[in-house]
Structure 1
Amino acid sequence: MLHVYEDQLNGFERTGNLKEDVYWFLVHGKCPKTAEHCMKVGAEAGRIARLAGADPAAAEAAGYLHDISAVYPNDRRIAVALQLGIEVLPEEEAFPLIVHQKISRAMAEHIFGVTDASILDAVGCHTTLRAHSSLFDKVLFVADKIEWDQQGTPPYITELLAQLDVSLDHAAFAYIDYLWQRRDTLKVVHPWLREAHAELKRQLM
């Protein structure tokens, strides 16, 4: 299985400092913008975890790790996922960007030695969330949306931050509902996002 990572691991040695290791791994993999994004998401996840009563150190770790699969371009992600034994859904095959969350989960475990299931699970659903999501899943999900990796200001950010003052669940729903209201414009609607939207809507309304 680790042969999948052969090119990415060439010249890479872990020091035991996860933050620095992830940053170097991504820069070495020619993804400096993603490296900066992951550092910001780690810091934001730690901040939200403190507010929500979750473990801030674990949240920071999840934030650092969530996009490490960026070292694989979109046109390789389905092949990599299959080589790793990851189930690829039709929506992911149609829009490979989304499968990166599952690949990042595997890489966090295989390359960075993460064994904490709460960290791995949060990394594995940070883009779409999922039904029956944990507090920790939502911490990373919301942190990633606040520190988004696109240009400009996120169009949903005002509402999301306002809802975060109410609760973490309200903040997560604010983003998912933003997408849901525009689902006809999305390339795909991932089933995990669909299920998370329905569940949070029931819970909050």
Structure 2
Amino acid sequence: MHPIFQELTASVEFTHDLKRNVQLFLTTHHCSETADHCMDVGAEARRVAIRFGADPDAAETAGWLHDISAVIPNKDRIEAARQLQIEVLPEEEQFPMIIHQKLSKAMARDIFQITDQAILDAVGCHTTLRAGSTLLDQVLFVADKIAWDQTGVPPFQKELNDGLEQSLAHGAFAYIDYLWQRKETLKVVHPWLKDAHEELRLQLK
């Protein structure tokens, strides 16, 4: 295990219960709100998976794990990614919050021993989605937006729900297009989000 992860896990007593381990890991590092959000996203991902024919257990697992990198402070994420030999895109260097999806993927694999590549890949693109996204990618992406971690009603809720009435892909596109229409207000436009928007726009014509 990489020294970064050894340090993060030194004070955590893991069991064979993944859900409990994620909660314990996050709360030990004073990220209890993130722990609650991860549990909410896990539950929502299970519901979305059942609705659209994805693997509910895989979806729930991905939901629990998607934000575990919250334990790494934002200011340290780019350096951590480099030490872990994770590719850092210019947009991620400019706005380090976005690289948390890649860090969570690495942590799910190396700390929580997740070997299912579909789960790891979904965790790794849950904020931006990506071109060629899988059913599980889209399930987690949408579940994370439904189980919003901010106060109040999500401003994109109607568009997302209307999209989901057509299909999961329409729901995912509805959220991405909501951002796209406001891209001038975003700190950065991640290239994966741009690619996903273009691909889904053409697919769903």
For residues 36 and 203 of structure 2, the distance between their equivalents in structure 1, rounded to whole angstroms, comes to: 35
Aligned Cα RMSD in Å?
Answer: 0.8
Structure-2 residue corresponding to 1:175: 175
Within-5 A mapping of 1:137-152: 137-152=137-152
Q: 1:13: how far off?
A: 2.5
Q: Deviations over 1:112-162 (max 9, x none)?
A: 000000000000000000000000100000000001111211100112012
Instruction: Please list every run of at least 4 consecutive aligned residues from structure 1 whose deviation after the TM superposition is greater than 2 angstroms.
Output: none
For residues 4 and 189 of structure 2, the distance between their equivalents in structure 1, rounded to whole angstroms, comes to: 28
Structure-1 residue corresponding to 2:70: 70
Q: Retained in 2: the 8 A contact 1:14–1:112? A: no
Residue ranges of structure 2 left out of the alignment (5+ in a row): none
Q: 1:84: how far off?
A: 0.6
Residue ranges of structure 1 left out of the alignment (5+ in a row): none
Q: Retained in 2: the 8 A contact 1:69–1:103? A: yes
Structure-2 residue corresponding to 1:96: 96
Within-5 A mapping of 1:96-175: 96-175=96-175
Structure-2 residue corresponding to 1:82: 82
Report which stretch shifted further, 12-21 or 100-109: 12-21
Residue 25 of structure 1 aligns with an amino acid whose one-letter code is: F
For residues 69 and 193 of structure 1, the distance between their equivalents in structure 2, rounded to whole angstroms, comes to: 20
Residue 84 of structure 2 aligns with an amino acid whose one-letter code is: L
For residues 13 and 112 of structure 1, the distance between their equivalents in structure 2, rounded to whole angstroms, comes to: 12
For residues 14 and 56 of structure 1, the distance between their equivalents in structure 2, rounded to whole angstroms, comes to: 24
Equivalent pairs: percent with the same residue? 62
Paired residues, what number? 205
Secondary structure of 2:85's partner?
A: coil
Residue 37 of structure 2 aligns with an amino acid whose one-letter code is: H
For residues 164 and 109 of structure 2, the distance between their equivalents in structure 1, rounded to whole angstroms, comes to: 30
Structure-2 residue corresponding to 1:194: 194
Report which stretch shifted further, 34-43 or 154-163: 154-163
Q: Retained in 2: the 8 A contact 1:41–1:60? A: yes
TM-score of the two chains, using structure 1 as the length reference: 0.98
TM-score of the two chains, using structure 2 as the length reference: 0.98
